[in-house]
Every structure is written in C-alpha cells, then in structure tokens.
C-alpha cells in the first residue's frame, strides 16, 4: 500500500492552502528552471505553472501512482520518478519548491545545504512541512502502533520528522542572502464521521498500514478512529476542528 492520489486529494483545499501561502511570498519575477520536490499528484506544480507560465518546470516524486496523476494534471511539465535523497539537478535552479514532502526525507543537516547548493545566485528554496508531530493525532498513532497488540505486526515506522526551527536558521543563514522562517497553525474545520482518520490515511498512516493485511488494517483503523474521535470530538453541528501546525522556510541564495 502506497500513496493514493484520490485519498490524498480528498482534502485538496486544506492541503493546497499552505502551498499557496508560501507561493505568495516568493520574490521572483521570472524564474527559468523550477523544480517541485515531492510534487505528488501535481496540483501544487500546477500553481507554479500558473504563476510562471514561461518557466521550465520539473516535478520530482518517488511514487509512480502520484506521478501518473501529475502527468495527467499538467501535461506541459516534465515529471521524474526519483527520491530526493539521490537526486541532482542538471541545471542550476532558480526555484526549488517543496510542499509537504521533505519531512519524509532524513538528515536535514545535510539535505538543506545540498538543496541550497543546487540554486543559481539569487535562486530561492521554498519549503513547507508539517510541524505537528507532537499533536494528539500523531501521538495517538505512535501510541497505538507501540502497544503489544500491534508492535510486532507493524514494527518500527517513520512518520516523518522536522528539526527545531532554530536549527534551520543555524544551517541556512550562513549560506544565503535572505532567510525567512515562520509557522502557521491552520484551524481546519472538517465534516464527516471520521475526518481526522480520513485525513491521516492519506498521508501519515501510509507506512503504518503498509505491513497489515485488510482485516488487521480495519481493526487498527477502528481502534485508532475511536481514540481520535475522543481527542477531536465533533461539535453540535458535526464540525470537527483539526488544528494543524505547519512550518515554512524561504531562503534566497
């Protein structure tokens, strides 16, 4: 079980908003070489193409399913199947954009300087990542997966990680001319019987569900769903608030 474009895009408005907010702050008039790292189903790549229709845009992702959708969404762009870990661009880049993807990649101490090095002078690295790994949603997944009933079946899993904000300042500031770091908590108002569980199945839960067969997966989701509903109860109108902290990095070389 890997990335499923339809499930991921079930909350496309909420998932797109941080990318749009980051895009609004990019101080480039006419970038030529643009890469969307971890481009997924291409809906953010499409925003890049709308803002800079003349740019040469490449989307890169390690999921064939997501790329297949991206190629349909934006036939004018080039899409490459590759992991960020081993990727090296052919040309110096004017813009390296990444929305909700780099937390899946290890070793940010080495990764971020390498990404900055791939930019031309004045080029921009623009990154958004979740910063909510200690939120009840994520804590409950780790707790349940660590119980004796599940630990052997699921094993050690990775839900992604980011560094403390001050570490990005330390790593990036000496290497760039301008650096802006900020965070936003999006208070997402969601509807439906289990919206937080549905949201998590599109992303964070993917590695946890992958080793389970259909029956075990259903049991795990039932148990997690009831814990999530307790942590995020719907109000009397049926609305569930799911606050989601996100961190932003805008670095200009």
* Cα–Cα distances in angstroms (integers) from residue 218 to residues 139, 222, 227, in the given order: 20, 6, 14
- Which is closer to ligand SAM, CB of 105 or CB of 221? 105
* Cα–Cα distances in angstroms (integers) from residue 82 to residues 46, 64, 79, in the given order: 19, 9, 9
User: Strand order of the sheet with strand 56-61?
Assistant: 78-81, 56-61, 33-37, 93-99, 119-130, 240-252, 178-190
Q: Where are the alpha helices (DSSP H) in 90-145?
A: 108-117, 136-145
CB 226 to ligand SAM: min, Å? 25
For residues 100 and 162, is the Cβ–Cβ distance under 8 A?
Answer: no
* Cα–Cα distances in angstroms (integers) from residue 163 to residues 4, 102, 126, 132, 145, in the given order: 27, 11, 16, 12, 23
CB 30 to ligand SAM: min, Å? 23
Structural tokens at position 224: 């997690």
By CB under 6 A, name the binding residues for ligand SAM: 3, 15, 19, 38-40, 43-44, 61-63, 66, 83-85, 99-101, 104-105, 203
- Which is closer to ligand SAM, CB of 85 or CB of 183? 85
Separation of alpha carbons 213 and 154, rounded Å: 11
CB 38 to ligand SAM: min, Å? 3
Q: Which H/E stretch holds residue 181?
A: strand 178-190
Chain position whose Cβ is nearest to ligand SAM: 40
CB 5 to ligand SAM: min, Å? 9
CB 179 to ligand SAM: min, Å? 22
CB 62 to ligand SAM: min, Å? 4
For residues 51 and 25, is the Cβ–Cβ distance under 8 A?
Answer: no
Closest CA to 64 of 79, 76, 81: 81
- Which is closer to ligand SAM, CB of 100 or CB of 221? 100
- Which is closer to ligand SAM, CB of 23 or CB of 150? 23
- Which is closer to ligand SAM, CB of 101 or CB of 124? 101
- Which is closer to ligand SAM, CB of 118 or CB of 203? 203
Separation of alpha carbons 127 and 108, rounded Å: 12
CB 237 to ligand SAM: min, Å? 29
Structural tokens at position 15: 């998932």
- Which is closer to ligand SAM, CB of 18 or CB of 31? 18
């Amino acid at each position: 079980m890997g990335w499923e474009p339809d499930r991921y895009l079930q909350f496309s408005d909420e998932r797109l908003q941080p990318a749009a907010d980051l895009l609004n702050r990019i101080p480039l008039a006419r970038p030529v070489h643009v890469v969307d790292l971890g481009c997924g189903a291409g809906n953010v790549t499409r925003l890049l193409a709308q803002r800079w229709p003349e740019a040469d845009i490449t989307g890169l992702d390690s999921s064939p399913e997501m790329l297949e959708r991206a190629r349909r969404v934006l036939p004018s762009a080039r899409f490459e199947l590759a992991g960020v870990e081993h990727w090296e661009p052919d040309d110096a880049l004017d813009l390296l954009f990444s929305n909700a993807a780099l937390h899946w990649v290890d070793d940010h101490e080495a990764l971020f300087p390498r990404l900055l090095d791939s930019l031309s002078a004045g080029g921009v690295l623009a990154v958004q990542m979740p910063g909510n790994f200690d939120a009840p949603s994520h804590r409950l997944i780790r707790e349940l997966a660590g119980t004796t009933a599940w630990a052997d079946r699921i094993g050690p899993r990775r839900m992604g990680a980011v560094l403390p904000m001050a570490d990005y300042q330390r790593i990036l500031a000496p290497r760039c001319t301008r650096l802006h770091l900020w965070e936003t908590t999006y208070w997402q108002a969601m509807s439906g019987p289990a919206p937080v569980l549905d949201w998590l199945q599109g992303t964070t839960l993917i590695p946890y569900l992958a080793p389970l067969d259909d029956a075990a997966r259903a049991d795990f989701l039932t148990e997690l769903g009831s814990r999530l509903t307790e942590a995020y109860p719907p109000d009397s109108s049926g609305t569930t608030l799911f606050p989601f902290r996100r961190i932003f990095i805008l670095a200009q070389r």
